[in-house]
Amino acid sequence: MASRVVLLGPQRFQPTLRDAVRELGVSGPVAVVTAGWQERERENDELRAHLDCEVVDLLLYHRYDDALLRDRPLAQALRRRQEELQQQQQLYRMRLEHALAAARQIVSQPEGAAVEGHLLAAIHAVRHLDRFHLRRLRREHESFEREWEPSRRVAVARHREQLAQLLDRCDLLAIAGGHVAVLLNRLRLFDLRPLIGSKPVVAWSAGAMAVSERVVLFHDSPPQGPGDPEVLDSGLGLCRGVVPLPHARQRLRLNDPHRVALFARRFAPAECVVLEGAARLEWRGERWSATPGTLRLGPDGTLREVAAS
Amino acid sequence: MIRALEGLLADGPPSADRIDRFLREHSFPLVDGRSVTFVWRGEADSVNLRHWIFGLSTFQPLRRIDGTGLWHLTIEIPERSRVEYKLEIIRGEQREWIMDPLNPRIARDPFGANSVCHGEGYATPEWALPDPVARPGRIEELAVPSRALEGVQRVDVYLPARFRRTRRYPLLVVHDGDDYLRYSFLKTVLDNLIHRLEIAPLIVALTGSSDRLREYGADPRHAAFLADELLPHLQAHLPLIHRPESRGLLGASFGAVASLHAAWQRQEVWGRLLLQSGSFVFSDIGDHRRGPVFDAVVDFVNQFRERPGRPASRIFLSCGVFEPLIYENRTILPLLQSAGIEVRYEEARDGHNWENWRDRLRAGLSWTFPGPLWMVYE
């Protein structure tokens, strides 16, 4: 298990990665995963310049494509599995829409004992649905693992061996943002978690989401649809007790106390943390610490500073 | 009478200085809930408000305040409305249409410009305004030889930010492309919506016509140009996704007719349609009475109403409620739905103009070419 996990916000306008790496006492080499950038995976000049140390590109996006090109049965199996997972997600969403609509209606009622009772029950229903969905997804993943053992198949194992050697000579792993499902699939296929060992990990945006316990997708005001936060899947679980929310100020109506309260209460006891600007969370195995000004969603609908755990 | 004006007139005819101050201290037209007051200052025999709101008299006279050169008119405009207008100044035999000199808001179109009244609660969408953070796409010019249209067609092509040839993109073909760029700020909208992840990065072919009313009026040569010449040319030169659901047509007014007609003529080619304020004129019986320029359109729409087929799998349809075409658009909606097409329909309190069409682009483009908003966190 990674010795320390640092979660950062988006790095485009206010890069804090280098400081985070330095404060972990690392001066290189740093292994990077930019698979979330998809076909732009290799366009990491800015990242290299910012880190200003030796950078080792793990190239998970391209390795994934290469492995599947060489292992057509696995590629087809993964495609079928993807279709099944998408169907699970659609069915979950159908139920979630109604469950969340009820909770939203109740949370906006005038306060009172009766309302609170029903609100608790409504939130419980949503939490139950989230757990149900995660359990089904875990079963799918476990069944797939048992049947195919992807990381032991020749094409994947070859890449995995190379990744192990690359990681072995690096002092830290940095995981960038981008497409969270693409990132997660690549991390999973190559079973990167054991290869990380006890190395410190710094992850931002989708990278932060992928290394947490569960990946929660969110946007309160999409151009289509109701804007219901949904659980996508389990994450790598390198850290616990946090739901990272990169770009929260753009994506969430943080001035709507009902929505904030519902979000916070739904995922409690995990803290839903706004990852923006200079926000930084550090996980040291059992405890969290945060830079001053790092905010979380409060169950009372306000934004509160994250206290050390 | 609106409160601000009542205050000005409370003590009888105001002096020139008081009027000066009043005009300086207020924005015009004056908006107070649903009451909107238009004001003009000057010497004239009469002054009319000229607008294009279907259902209201097309000209409405302003009243002069005795002893002053101040004219005013209050009408009711629903919340969230957007109304383009001009003032008609009449002096003797002379009639002059002018933009409201007291109102800095203007909207341009191919015929010039109009003043714009924002009803209570309306604001220009922020995603339609330049965003310095949004990476810009670029526009390149292509020349597409066409037998169908007897000549080389100039087509501008929008390539999204971070365009790369190793990736494949959906395609949107736009009618009146230049006008969409100029008057609906299409490039800004595309840059912003792609940056916001609300629409897929896509390639946009901006087409035009030198004989618009004929070519866009349900002309089979135009449909042939799009499917048999433009599309193959674009496929040969650009990395496009080769699936109907990744190909769409966009048009407004006659451009919407052209889009629907082209898709109807070549079913299974264009999977997505964005039809804005379509001139879907039809006749159940007798003459359509819209003039000869509509003859081919009416023939097509009448045929379409008999046999809608399935011109696309997903359609965005919009119309302003102040447009005379609102009836035709409301009528075509159930036909599209009955054909098993996924339709999103949107009405707006606006008229037949480019900023109405601009204001619908987020809904329309995100419906037809949804982006990875839920999945991408950079």
CB contact under 8 A, A178 and B362: no
CB contact under 8 A, B198 and A180: no
Q: Measured between CB atoms, which of A12, A206, A222 is closest to B373?
A: A222
d(CA A219, CA B327): 36
Nearest to A263 by CA among A100, A112, A118, A125: A100
Nearest to A210 by CA among A245, A242, A234, A246: A234
Task: Return the number of other C-beta atoms located less than 10 Å from residue A44's C-beta.
Answer: 17
Structure tokens, B353: 């103009």
Q: What angle do CA A144, A150, A153 make, to 5 degrees?
A: 140
Nearest CA in chain B to A177: B378
Question: pLDDT tens across B114-130, in order?
Answer: 999 999 999 999 999 99
pTM of the model: 0.94
Three-class SS string for B347-364?
Answer: EECCCCCHHHHHHCHHHH
Q: Measured between CB atoms, which of B164, B167, B373 is closest to A219?
A: B373
- Whether B193 and B366 have beta carbons less than 8 Å apart is answered as yes
Q: Measured between CB atoms, which of A13, A222, A246 is closest to B377?
A: A246
Question: pLDDT tens across A22-47, in order?
Answer: 999 998 899 999 999 999 999 999 99
Peptide bond into A269 cis (omega under 30): yes
Q: What is the pLDDT of residue B1?
A: 65
Terminal Cα distance for chain A, rounded: 19
- Whether A4 and A23 have beta carbons less than 8 Å apart is answered as no
d(CA A171, CA B192): 39
Residue B317 has pLDDT above 90, yes or no: yes
Q: What is the pLDDT of residue A286?
A: 83
Sequential DSSP letters for A82-123: HHHHHHHHHHHHHHHHHHHHHHHHHHTSPP-HHHHHHHHHHH
Task: Return the number of other C-beta atoms located less than 10 Å from residue B306's C-beta.
Answer: 8
**Distant-in-sequence, close-in-space partners of B195: CB < 8 Å, separation ≥ 6:** B131, B133, B134, B135, B161
Q: Closest Cα of chain B to A55: distance in Å?
A: 20
3-state helix, strand, coil in chain A (%, to 5): 50, 15, 30
Sequential DSSP letters for A8-58: E---SSS--HHHHHHHTT--S-EEEE-GGGGGGTT--HHHHHHH-S-EEE-
Question: pLDDT tens across A54-84, in order?
Answer: 999 999 999 999 999 999 999 999 999 999 9
Nearest to A123 by CA among A268, A277, A20, A265: A265
A149-163, B47-61, B223-237, B304-318: least confident range: B47-61
Nearest CA in chain A to B374: A217
Q: Does B372 touch chain A (CB under 8 A)?
A: yes
CB contact under 8 A, A223 and B377: no
CB contact under 8 A, A217 and B374: yes
Q: Does A269 touch chain B (CB under 8 A)?
A: no
Q: Residues in chain A with pLDDT < 70? A: 308-309
- What ipTM does the predicted assembly reach? 0.96
The DSSP output letter for B228 is: I
Q: Measured between CB atoms, which of B162, B375, B377 is closest to A40?
A: B162
Residue B353 has pLDDT above 70, yes or no: yes
Q: Measured between CB atoms, which of B367, B376, B378 is closest to A224?
A: B367
CB contact under 8 A, A217 and B366: no
d(CA A9, CA A204): 5
B62-76, B81-95, B193-207, B343-357: least confident range: B62-76
Q: Does B367 touch chain A (CB under 8 A)?
A: yes
